[in-house]
A and B are shown apart, each in its own frame.
Chain A
Amino acid sequence: MITHLLSAADLDRATATLVLDTATEMATVAGREVKKLPTLRGRTVVNLFYEDSTRTRTSFEVAAKRLSADVINFSAKGSSVSKGESLKDTALTLQAMGADAVVIRHSASGAPHRLARWVDGSVVNAGDGTHEHPTQALLDAYTMRSRLGTLEGLRVAIVGDVLHSRVARSNVLLLATLGAKVTLVSPPTLLPVGVGCWPCAVGYDLDAVLADVDVVMMLRVQRERMNDSYFPSAREYARRYGLDVARAGRLPEHAIVMHPGPMNRGMEIAPEVADSARATIVEQVANGVSVRMAVLYLLLGGKS
């Protein structure tokens, strides 16, 4: 197993599959009366969150606690960080306190990579800037496998703001490793220059791909993009790239609809679609705990 999980590219096919298989085992814990394993008793997991993210932080916290780890939530707000402490000094502090794993969310791309140079424990990237969010990709892959049985040959469309999306980056890398075929669909302004080096196809027309996919994953459009000329208006975006009822109706019968949340209902996804049986949005949240348990278990469980 790897030492850190910084990027979905850190996972080869065997390791990624091991994480997903382990998550399947972990999922059974959630169904028990006592939702707890003793595996990480005596280990300390620090949630180091420089950005607010109740959803992801709570998911990691629940995952660590279900494995009996001691969890410390370290928020940048109101801490020494807000007084100007550098990431390196914070890392050395955590090191001195004996953190076995640091789960980091940071607005700067690459911050987890830097942290990994300064601490001895495992570092898990819980989202860095516009770079990656590998456990989100793992939970997405887990959800696809649970619903559709396999990832090999699966046709996945990822739709929306790819340029600023750490979810899209991690999904493209992980799904390619696991044998799925990804197509990014986006306005050209929201695709990075250089996307041609990614292991996926690229298109601008959502309607052209809908009939031929097993999974359509809608990305969140952030409010500030709507005022920065990436596209003319929210209405035009919704018309060209929103998954409305009519578009959802053109999906193959078995196809599922995913969203990393939180959603802009009525913008990138219609409420009726988000609440339909195709949608896996709530499952994704539940699966997130199982996958994060698997990651922490595999990173820390084997160490003395």
Chain B
Amino acid sequence: MSSFVLTGARILGTEKTDIVITDGVVTEVAPGADAPGATRIDADGLVALPGLVDLHTHLREPGREDAETVESGSRAAALGGYTAVCAMANTDPVADTAGVVEQVYRLGRDAGLVHVQPIGAVTVGLAGERLAELGAMADSAAAVRIFSDDGNCVSDPRLMRRALEYVKAFDGVIAQHAEEPRLTAGAQLHEGEWSARLGLTGWPAVAEEAIIARDVLLAEHVGARLHICHVSTAGSVEILRWAKARGIRVTAEVTPHHLLLTDALAESYDPVFKVNPPLRTDADVAALRAALAEGVVDVVATDHAPHTVEDKECEWPYARPGMLGLQTALPVVLDTMFEPGSAGAVDLAPGRLDWDGLAERMSRRPARIAGLAEHGRDPAPGAPANLTLVDPAARVTVEPGELASGSRNTPYSGRTLPGRVVATFLAGTPTVLDGKAQQ
């Protein structure tokens, strides 16, 4: 029997209390709570959050273990405060069969640092031509519920309709990478002032918005669940607002980097800032922040995309798009969205979040979308002990060499961000203590 007492923690920032964890479950939450023989952890001043859940992680294994493995990505996730991550299907081989998703699932279980929930491909080989065996993946040991061709858009409207309809049989959701490929051929950077200045082919906002508009109508038509990956434009927000007001079953995610960074950073031609969808404008950033606070955009997802030095230290057009995110997501969200000292939603300034709002968007809602019942639950008696302790007063300067990922492609190198994950518990076992991974 293992037990821990977290002393002096503030649950969601409001109550200072003691938390007892016994055999993977939160058994008591009260000032002075204790358990015989328990390991005591000083959590004075730390905020206890439900363990973070990422709907959008690239772990690269199988196929590109030189960039990331399930284990190294899991370690980065735990250090970032995550207890569950959904692993995207664009591996090599593609996770488009029960065999591959079960392999990823087992690798995650063996690493034991976070719950790794595989995402299955929508189409065979991400080719966008015929449906993968979605049911076999759903029925596998991995129990896949999210399907995505991320990296590619399911651009054929008829195939997208079929996919949305088919996964209704097992309450699945299609997570769409919204990008009309004919409008983004050769695209390198958000189409606008900076693409014009830098001579880089533009990725127009309308290429994302057109697909989202089409797909929410398809989802409405067939009564299916749709999730939009990495929303990046103000126009997309408006379409989502309209769709939600109509009652369409659509959810959406925004990445931390789209909440903070803009296309002007491409001026350096440093491909660390190259990502898909591309960094957008100040106006888009403002719209995304407001939409996340309002709930039009449901969750924060990292789109953690590790790449080797060779894939990034080159000419911009040749560099692979993507950036690391797992270890910096919470600090970036704290930096861009959090209002310190807020006691509740009624006190919040527009466009800002308190701890509860943050937990909703980084833990509870993503867990609900992914169907992960053991995650996204507040530290309360009876809940699985998947939780994270955060020091909100800390400020940490990002040093790429100190990140746990197998890659170094962080856009935040040298940037000082608020908040530090002090401890993470997965099913009652500490995966991170004193800011250090335990395996």
Contact = CB atoms under 8 A, between A and B. Distances in A.
B199 interface: yes
A128 B196 CA distance: 14
B194 interface: yes
Contacts of B316: 108-110, 114
Interface in B236-283: 268-270
B343 to A, nearest CB: 44
A129 interface: yes
Contacts of A132: 199
Contact of A110 (B193, B196, B315): B315
Interface residues of B, number: 24
Contacts of A131: 198-200
B144 to A, nearest CB: 37
A87 B188 CA distance: 19
A110 B192 contact: no
Given A113-B269, A192-B202, A194-B191, A86 B314 contact: yes
A116 to B, nearest CB: 10
Given A113-B268, A193-B202, A194-B191, A106 B197 contact: no
B195 interface: yes
Contacts of A109: 188, 198-200, 269, 316-317
B318 interface: yes
Most A CB within 10 A of own CB, among B197, B204, B314:
B197
Contact of B195 (A113, A114, A194, A198): A194
B310 interface: yes
B199 A106 contact: no
Contacts of B198: 109-110, 131
Contacts of B188: 109
Contacts of A194: 191-197, 202
B315 A108 contact: yes
B204 A87 contact: no
B313 A195 contact: no
A91 to B, nearest CB: 11
Contact of A130 (B192, B199, B270): B199
- Please classify the interface of chain A as helix (H, G, I), strand (E, B), loop, or mixed, using the class held by over half of its residues: mixed
A111 interface: yes
Interface string A104-148: 001011110110000000000000111110000000000000000
Contacts of B315: 87, 106, 108, 110-111, 114
Contacts of B313: 86, 88
A3 to B, nearest CB: 16
A220 interface: no
B99 to A, nearest CB: 33
A197 B193 contact: yes
Interface string A173-193: 000000000000000000011
A259 interface: no
Interface in B267-314: 268-270, 310, 313-314
A113 B200 CA distance: 14
A65 interface: no
Given A110-B269, A113-B268, A113-B269, A192 B195 contact: yes
A57 interface: no
A194 B266 CA distance: 15
A193 B268 contact: no
A110 B267 CA distance: 9
A110 B317 CA distance: 9
A4 interface: no
Given A110-B316, A113-B269, 11 more contacts: A87-B314, A108-B316, A109-B269, A110-B199, A128-B199, A129-B199, A193-B195, A193-B196, A193-B202, A194-B202, A197-B193
Which 9 A/B pairs are nearest by Cβ-Cβ distance? A131-B199, A110-B269, A194-B196, A108-B315, A192-B196, A109-B199, A130-B199, A194-B193, A113-B269
18 contacts: A88-B313, A108-B315, A109-B188, A110-B315, A110-B316, A110-B317, A111-B315, A114-B269, A128-B199, A129-B199, A130-B199, A131-B198, A131-B199, A192-B202, A194-B192, A194-B202, A197-B197, A198-B197
Interface of A: 86-88, 106, 108-111, 113-114, 128-132, 166, 169, 192-198
